[in-house]
Structure 1
Amino acid sequence: MKLPLYQIDAFTDKIFGGNPACVVPLKNWLPDEVLLKIAKENAVAETAFFVNKGDRIHLRWFTPEIEMDLCGHATLATAHSLKSILEYPNDKIIFETLSGELIVSVKNDLYSLDFPSRMPVLTELPKIIQKSLNLQPKETLKSRDYVLVYDTEEEIRNIKINRQIFDQINLDPGGVVVTAKGQNCDFVSRYFTPQSTILEDPVTGSSHCSLIPFWSSRLKKEKLNALQISDRVGILECENKKDRVIISGKAKTYSVGNLWIE
């Protein structure tokens, strides 16, 4: 069986930036074990699979290990594939997902993702996470992910993870996001996933479902600019809208090809 395969760099305006995602259009769903094997073979943080139902798109996301409940950069990558490669006619794309209906609006080369808000709440920092970090946060919050708040962007850049300890944590399907006010933007972050092939995710749209309401409340503003300061760097335009968040970014096509499975 021959299937199309697109690799897209999301939340960036240049190749080799942002977060790479693979996108695989399907006519019908394949068995979950096959989807997981494809994701593992692709060896990027997320592979998005979709079935076009005409007025809406059925979308699922797989890491090399598990199916995810929500993924921002692979959703953006899918929207970019639909518009720039497959000539999808509508500028409003409706996705059916495990997190409900998600809408992506396209204007020029900017993709705006309408995602659920996940305001984190104060909690205690688990000792296992504490031991895995070289720098300790001033606040710990949690929604799907642990949100660790620091004083400065420099601290975020200098955080190191002891992977031997960190991989003892089971946060399926979540992770740990570290964040602080930015020097040249409203806030910065980095994102780490225990027990995963890729420890640090370059750009994590879903973590901003928590970061946006948190920093909107903290900074007293609804529209924010964010950077995820991984090696590849992600650029995100954010807006807080009560029980929803808008996460906007650009994307670039890296490759267009095919995969073959028996």
Structure 2
Amino acid sequence: MRVPIFQLDAFTTRRFAGNPAAVVVLDHFSDDALLQAVAAENNLAETAFLAFSEGRYRLRWFTPTVEVPLCGHATLAAGAVVLERLEPGRDSVTFDTASGPLTVDREGHAYRMDLPARTVSTVAPSPSLSEALGVTPLETAIDGTNYLALLSGADEVRSLAPDLVAIARLDRIGVVVTAAGDGTYDFVSRYFAPAKGIPEDPVTGGAHCALVPFWKARTGKDAFFAYQASRRGGELNCRLLGDRVQLQGACAFYLEGHIEI
């Protein structure tokens, strides 16, 4: 079977920055093992599989090792594929996903998506987390699946060199580190998830579903300009609207072709 594939850099206006995602367009979802094999072959943080069914698009996401219930940057990329390549006359698309309906809207030269906010709860300091990070967080929280560690400043976030093997052994699937911004940005962050095949994710929409409520509670603000300080880096305009988080960012098309599966 020969099917279309696109690769885009999400949350950036230029290629070779932001977070790369593959979008594979299918007539229907194939066997899960085959989808996982394609994602492993692509070897990107996320491969999105898009299928058109009964007038609606269905969307699933796979890392190189597991299927995940939500992926922000690959949703943004899938939205760009629909609005720019599959149906360029449209300005909005809604995907049916494991996390409910997710909408991506065209916004100028970028795209805005609407995701569920995550509940963030403060927890007692974790010695194993501090050991894995190599620093002791000022504050530790959880969003259900990840640890969220508040560090002393943006420079500490940028220079962090955690023990990824130790992070993979923690009792949460990933670790978000964050600090207040030191200039243009309201806050900065990084995200490590080696337990699900992503040593460090370049730019993580899902993590910002927790970061936005976290920083809202500390600043009283509803809108933020955020930066994920990975090696590739990426910018996100974020807004909290009740129990939803809106994330806005651009996408750069890098590759368009077909794969044989």
TM-score (norm: length of structure 1): 0.95
Amino acid corresponding to residue 177 of structure 1 in structure 2: V
Question: Where in structure 2 are the equivalents of 1:97-246 lying within 5 Å?
Answer: 97-143=97-143, 144-171=145-172, 174-184=173-183, 185-246=185-246
Amino acid corresponding to residue 94 of structure 1 in structure 2: T
CA apart distance, 1:57: 1.3
In structure 1, the residue matched to 2:52 is 52
Q: Deviations over 1:148-194 (max 9, x none)?
A: 011210110121111232222353xx411000100121000000003
Aligned mates of 1:81, 1:141 — CA distance in 2 = 35
Aligned mates of 2:165, 2:59 — CA distance in 1 = 34
Question: In structure 2, the residue corresponding to 1:207 is in which secondary structure?
Answer: helix
In structure 2, the residue matched to 1:15 is 15
CA apart distance, 1:105: 1.2
Amino acid corresponding to residue 176 of structure 1 in structure 2: V
In terms of mean alpha carbon deviation, does 158-167 or 220-229 score higher?
158-167
Question: In structure 2, the residue corresponding to 1:199 is in which secondary structure?
Answer: strand
Amino acid corresponding to residue 179 of structure 1 in structure 2: T
What is the aligned residue count? 259
8 Å contact 1:168–1:194 — kept in the other structure? Answer: no
Amino acid corresponding to residue 165 of structure 1 in structure 2: A
In structure 1, the residue matched to 2:65 is 65
8 Å contact 2:12–2:250 — kept in the other structure? Answer: yes
**Runs of 4+ more than 4 Å apart:** none
**Which structure 2 residue ranges, 5 or more long, are not aligned?**
none
Q: Indicate how the Cα distance of structure 1 residues 96 and 68 shifts in structure 2: closer, same or farther if over 3 A, else same.
A: same
Question: In structure 2, the residue corresponding to 1:128 is in which secondary structure?
Answer: helix
**Which structure 1 residue ranges, 5 or more long, are not aligned?**
none
8 Å contact 2:63–2:198 — kept in the other structure? Answer: no
Q: Deviations over 1:66-99 (max 9, x none)?
A: 1011100000010111122223432121111110
Aligned mates of 1:253, 1:155 — CA distance in 2 = 32
8 Å contact 1:40–1:63 — kept in the other structure? Answer: yes
CA apart distance, 1:127: 3.1
Amino acid corresponding to residue 85 of structure 1 in structure 2: R
In terms of mean alpha carbon deviation, does 126-135 or 225-234 score higher?
126-135
8 Å contact 2:13–2:251 — kept in the other structure? Answer: yes
